[in-house]
Amino acid sequence: MSDKHYDVSIIRPVMRVDEVAFRGKDFPQARLKSIRKGLHTLHTLELMAVNIYKYQLTKQQSEHNLYLVAAMCNEMTHLQDFQVKLFEYGFKPSKFRWAYWLVGFAIGFVSRLMGEKAVLKTGIWVEAKAVHHYGQLLAEIEWDETSRKIIEKNQADEHEHIHRWKVLLESTGN
């Protein structure tokens, strides 16, 4: 993770019109190809994360469900971040993103059926995978500075989700 501190209590950072810009105009094709691949990966994984949290939710008004709603909102912000970046670079979302939607639905729904502890353990596992992916993509791809900061902030959010799910899991006795 980055040495920078990101305020993970902010679920939806402010984005201003002047922050939207076309990117990559003078980048070599190889750099653009790696950025496209990275953005497709991040966009589809965030779509999956949104669905996991959406389908883990129950009707119960609990602290756990409140955190699931907050995490889902945060993941929706990440999804939007990467969709915007795709279009700023002149790319489009992956045509196969529907498969990640289905995987997210399946993981979320099945873990909910298995109970709260399974939901929390699933959240920890999925977010740990996300943190790893973010780390790999930050290390391997030469991002523009604006995109890099967004990716680092989103990775910090994922670390916070892991922490939150671990605290809740410990409070259940595991």
Determine the pLDDT at residue 173. 76
CATH number, residue 166: 1.20.1260.10
148 domain-assigned = yes
Domain presence at residue 12: no
pTM: 0.93
pLDDT in tens, 22-66: 999 999 999 999 999 999 999 999 999 999 999 999 999 999 999
Is 9 within a domain? no
Q: Is residue 130 part of a domain?
A: yes
Residue 8 lies in a domain: no
Q: Per-residue DSSP letters for 87-150?
A: HHTT----TTHHHHHHHHHHHHHHHHHH-HHHHHHHHHHHHHHHHHHHHHHHHHS---HHHHHH
| The total number of structural domains that make up the chain | 1
Query: Is a pLDDT exceeding 70 seen at residue 1?
Result: no
- Domain span holding position 102: 27-171
